[in-house]
Structure 1
C-alpha cells in the first residue's frame, strides 16, 4: 500500500496537489482513500463535484452517536473514498484532537479493511507538526511525506520546519520525507530558491506544478484538472508524480 502524507504551509496548494494526485491514481486503476486533516475540511471538495463533505468532528458535535462508515466516507471521482476530519468549534479546543479522534474512529471501524485501498493520501495542515498534526506520520499511518512549497519566503520557512520536525522523529519509526513538490507562484528566481532548499535539506524535487489558470477554472466547477482535462499538460504533471510514487513503492 502507498501511504503518503502531504504537508506544507497553509494556502500553499496542498489540497489541489493531493486531490489531483488522488484522481491521477484513480484513473490509473488504483483504489484510493483521501483523508483531509485540516479544520477547513475542503481537501476533497473537488473530488465531490464541489459539494463539501460533512467532517467527522462536525458529525460528532451534532449527534450523540459516532458516524458509521457510510456517514463518514463519501465516494468521489474515480471511486476515491473521501474523509474529512474537520476540527473544533472555532476558538474552542485543539484542531489536532480532531485528527486523532478521526484516526481512532478509522481504526475502530476498520475503514481500510472495508475499502482495501492501494493508496492512502493524507492532506495535512503543515504550519505546525505536533500533536494531532503529527498523527499521519506515525508508524502505521503514512510511510512517506511530500512537502509542498513555492519559492515564497514563508512557504520555504514552513517547509524547513516540517523537515526539521520529521528529522526529530527519525528514531521513532515515523514516516520519512520522500521529496518536495514545487507548486509555482511565479516569484523571482523561484526554482533556484526551492532547489537550494531541497539541496540543503538533502531531499529531491519530485514534482513541479506550474501556476495554471486551468486548475483554477476546473476547481470553480468543483473538479480536479485530472477529471476536467486529463490530456492537458498540467494533468500530466500529476500523473508523473503518481508514477514516481508507484515506482518508489514497487
Structure 2
C-alpha cells in the first residue's frame, strides 16, 4: 500500500480526524489481522457491526480507527458517514495514484480461473497483484486495490455481483485499462431475474473503463447487441469458440 497520513485519509474519505496525525501503511477490516501501522476500518453490514471489535483492534496494536461514530479509546480515529463507502474512496485514490495497468474481469463463470491465469502470465513481465481467491465484491475489490504501490506494473481484479449496481460501483473504483467479460450465462437469477438482467449487470463494467481502454468480449455471449453503445469508440478484442471463422485482431496495450 502507498503510505498515507491520517490527515490525507480524512480528506480522501470526507471524514473528521480526532487525535494526532499518523502515517498509515496498511488497512485491515478484521481485528484479528491487525498489524503495527495499520488503520482498522469498522464496517457495518446487514448482519454485523465491526464497531464492536474496535476494542480488540486497539488491544492488538492498530495505529488508528476509521468509524461511523466517535469512540471512547485513547487512539487517533476518523469519523465518516459510511465506512464501506470510505473504504472504496480510499482504494480508488490509491489506484489512481499509481501507474499500474489494471485488468478487470467479470462473467457468469470462470472468472477466478481466468484471473489466476492472467495474473500468472503478467507476473512474468512485472510485479502484479490480483484478487485474493474470489473476493470480488464491494469490500473485496477495495481491499485488493489497497495493496497497490508504485512498484506494481499490473493488477488483475475480479468483479462479481449478485444484484444490479454492484459492478458499476467496483468498476468505477477500479478504473481499469482493460476489461474482459468472460461469458454471460444463467447465474444469480434471484438478484438479476433473467439472462438479460445478468447481461445488463455485467455490462456495468464498461462504466469504469478508462477513455483509452480496451474491451475483450466473448462473441458467444448473449445480448451482445445491448453493449454496442458502450463500446463503439473503444479498442476491442473478440474471442470465440463457436464462431471460428471470425478473426478480429486489435492490439491490447499493456506495455
Structure 2 length-normalised TM: 0.38
Structure 1 length-normalised TM: 0.39
Structure with greater helix percent: 1
Asked which structure has the greater CA Rg, the reply is 2
Whose RCO is larger (CA < 8 A, sep 6+)? 1
